[in-house]
Structure formats: C-alpha cells, structure tokens
Amino acid sequence: MSDGGGPFGFDIHLALLFDDIVAVYRPSAIVETGSYLGDTTAYLANAYPSLPVITCDVDPSHAGYTAARLRHADNVAVHHADSPTVVAEASREHAPAVYFLDAHWGEQWPLARELAELANGPGPAVAVIHDFDIGYPGFGYDVYDGVPCGPGILTGVPGLPDVYFTSNPEATYPLPCLQTGRRTGVGVIPIGLPAEPLAGIPRLRQHSRTATTSAVTS
C-alpha cells in the first residue's frame, strides 16, 4: 500500500467519494486518463458495469497490458493515445461524463490541456483530479516544473467555473482507509453542471477559485 498501484492507490475513501459523485450526477460514461496497468480501470469496470469506461495511456506497453487484462470486460475501451485527445473525443460522445484525471507521463503533464478540452467541450462534465493539493497535513500532491497540482492550475485554464471542491479527510466514512503510504486528495470541478449536488456531499469541501487567488495575492 505504497501508492505504487491498486485501485485508486488502495485509498478506499477515494473510491467511496467517487461513488458519491457518480450517484449524484448519473453520468453516461466514465473516462480515466493514465491507465498504467489497469488497476483502477478494472475496479471501475466492475463497479459500474452498465457504464462505458474509457481509459488511455501514452505508453504503448501500459495500454497494451491494460487492454489484454480487460479484454473480457465488454464496457471497457482502452486507447494508446494522448489523453487530451481522448478527453476531447469523449466529451463529444458522452454527456455528462465523469473524468478521473490521473495522467502524468514522465516529463509530460497534460492536466491543463485535459481541463481546457472539458472547459471548451460541447458536453457537461465532472473532472476529478487525482494527486491534488487539498491543503491538509499528511496528504501529498503532484508538482511538475515547480507548479503544484492544486488551485493554481485551475486559475490558468480559461472557462472553468469558479466553484470547485476538494476531498475532506475529516468526514465520516463507513470503512477505514488502510493506506499507510502516500495519500493524496482530489479536486472536483463540475463543468456545465450545477454545483449543488456536490455541495450536498459531506465528503467534499467547497471552494472558490477567485477567493483562493485573492487570498494568495493579498
């Protein structure tokens, strides 16, 4: 349980939160970027058998392994492709969809491009950003070229709504999280959808991008 693999990095609290999001928005598909070896993909396919699960990886060995591993899962489509391209295509074909954005490929960090495709896409979407800075002790987050995966990355993407949410570690969960290694939070952004359903989930905290930016610059 060192975040080296496993569905959602073996963080059951994240799995429960993801299920909350799916329950309130009832998406027509789930899109995952960065399949790696397909652990989270396999979980999503089994947890939501009635929904298409679209995943991708830029590494051909990872995409090939995931495709072979899940070849019998009728609801899974695996692509060896750049994630923003897959996000753009899914946005045109599925509305609304929930996007689990977890692509980080060596020197590449396609998150801003993924979010831009959703912000400017034709269909409503919910972006769930993994490894996000939730401002909570003990929870890590990604940093690329000195840029944290956090509220600041949202400010740089035109068209995103002002309201966003982060996971709440202090909320009540029905099961304990046994992840003893590196834990990370998520940022959640409803794009073209009302934010009220997310505001009603106790496992989330609501924030304002403009308020966060004003606090940092003041």
Residue-wise pLDDT for 61-77, tens only, equals 999 999 999 999 999 99
Predicted pLDDT of residue 5: 73
Taking the C-alpha atoms of residue 165 and residue 208, their distance in angstroms, rounded to an integer, is: 8
Task: For residue range 23-66, list pLDDT tens digits in order.
Answer: 999 999 999 999 999 999 999 999 999 999 999 999 999 999 99
Single pTM value for the model: 0.94
Return the closest-CA partner of residue 191 out of 158, 213, 159, 167: 159
- Written as six digits, the tokens of 42 are 């396999």
pLDDT score of 215 more than 70: no
With tokens 């298409």, the residue in question is 52
Report the amino acid identity of residue 212: T
- Written as six digits, the tokens of 61 are 């060995």
Predicted pLDDT of residue 191: 98
- The average confidence (pLDDT) of the chain is 92
Residue 213's pLDDT band (cuts 50, 70, 90): low
SS3 call for 209: helix
Q: Which contacts (CB < 8 Å, 24+ apart) does range 56-61 have?
A: 56/32, 56/80, 56/81, 56/82, 56/83, 56/86, 56/103, 57/103, 57/105, 58/82, 58/83, 58/103, 58/105, 58/108, 59/105
Task: For residue range 122-158, list pLDDT tens digits in order.
Answer: 989 999 999 999 999 989 999 998 899 999 999 999 9
Task: For residue range 77-98, list pLDDT tens digits in order.
Answer: 999 999 999 999 999 999 999 9
Rounded (10°) CA dihedral 193, 194, 195, 198: -80
Predicted pLDDT of residue 216: 45
Residue 106's pLDDT band (cuts 50, 70, 90): low
As to burial, measured by CB atoms within 10 angstroms (0-12 exposed, 13-18 middle, 19+ buried), residue 61 is exposed
The CATH class given to the 7-217 domain equals alpha beta
Report the amino acid identity of residue 103: A
Contacts for 24 with CB less than 8 Å, ≥ 6 apart: 197, 198, 200, 201
Predicted pLDDT of residue 1: 43
Predicted pLDDT of residue 217: 42
